Structure 1
Amino acid sequence: MEAVGGDVDLHVRTELRHLGVPARFFYYFQAAEGLNLIEEGPGVGLVHFGFTRDHRKVCISPTDLSIWEVAENPPIGRSLINSSLEGFLKFMAICEKRISSQQCVDEEEEELGEECIECWLKVANDIRTRMAKGDSSALFDGSYWSDFLSDVENGDYG
C-alpha cells in the first residue's frame, strides 16, 4: 500500500504493511488501492485504507492505531471498529478460522433448516465470546462486528 493522497505517516504505512492487512475479508472488508489521509468531514485526520461492504471507509488513527468506520453522510459519521490494528486483524483471523472450520451447509435446501440455523448461532456466539475477551469495546449494538455476527447467525456472512 502506498500513499495516494495527503501526507500519510510512515509509522502507519509500516504498521499496515508489517501486520499484513488482507486484501479482503469475506464481503465485509476490501483493501483500498492505497492510503489516503482524510482531510475533511467526519474522518478528518484518519488514514483511509479500505472499504466496508456498504462502501464506507475503513480508516486507521495515526495517533493510536485504532480502526474506524467512516460514513460520508450523517448521522453515522465515524464509528469504532477496533481499538487497535492488531485487534482488527485478530478478529478477522478468529472469524476466518472459526467459519472455515464449520460445516453448516445444507446444500439440498434453499432455505436454512433448523439445524443449520442452530449451527450458525453457535458459530456466531463462539466468535462473539472470543472477540469479547480481546476487545469488548468493539461489540456494541450497530457496530461493524455486531452487524457481521448478526449475518453469521443467519448464515449470510460472506
Structure 2
Amino acid sequence: MPTKLTDLKAGQSAPDFSMDVTGMDEPATLSTYSGRYLVLYFYPKDDTPGCTTEALGFTAHKAVFASLNADILGVSRDTIEKHNKFIAKKDLGIALGSDHTGDVTDAYGVWVEKSMYGKTYMGIQRATFLIGPDGTIVEVWPKVRVKGHVEDVLARLQAISA
C-alpha cells in the first residue's frame, strides 16, 4: 500500500529507492548518497513552467548545496530520455531520476489524486525531502510553492550545517 505523504516526518528513516538517474550507469539507491545530504524533490513533469523554474533554481544554487555536502535529485515519472532532453534544452546542472515504475513516488506518498477544472486525476504532488547523511529525514516540504522554495531548502541546510 502506498505511503501517505503525511506519514513521513523528520527523524524517520527515509524510504529506500532504486531508480535510473541521468548521468549514472547503474540505478541510484538511497545508499548511493550515504554520507551526504540529499535534497530529494518530486515534481510533476519535465519542461513545464513550474518544474522548469524549480529545476533552474536548484541548478543556480548547485555549487552552494555542494559546498554544504548536499546532492540534489529531482524525481518525476518521465523517462530518462525525456529527462536528458529537458536537461539539454534548459542547460540544467542537476540529476533527474526516472520513477517509471511509480515505486518511489508511492514510497514517498507524492502520487496523489489531484483536481483541475472539475476533473480528478492521479499525479505527483510537488514535495521536497531533505535527507541527512545517515538516511534520516531532516525536513519535509509537503506542498511546495515554487517561488522561494530553493532558497528555503538552502536556508534549512545552512542552519543545520552551521
TM-score w.r.t. the length of structure 2 is 0.31
- Structure with a larger share of its residues in strand: 2
Q: Which of structures 1 and 2 has the larger relative contact order (alpha carbons within 8 angstroms, sep 6+)?
A: 2
Larger radius of gyration: 1
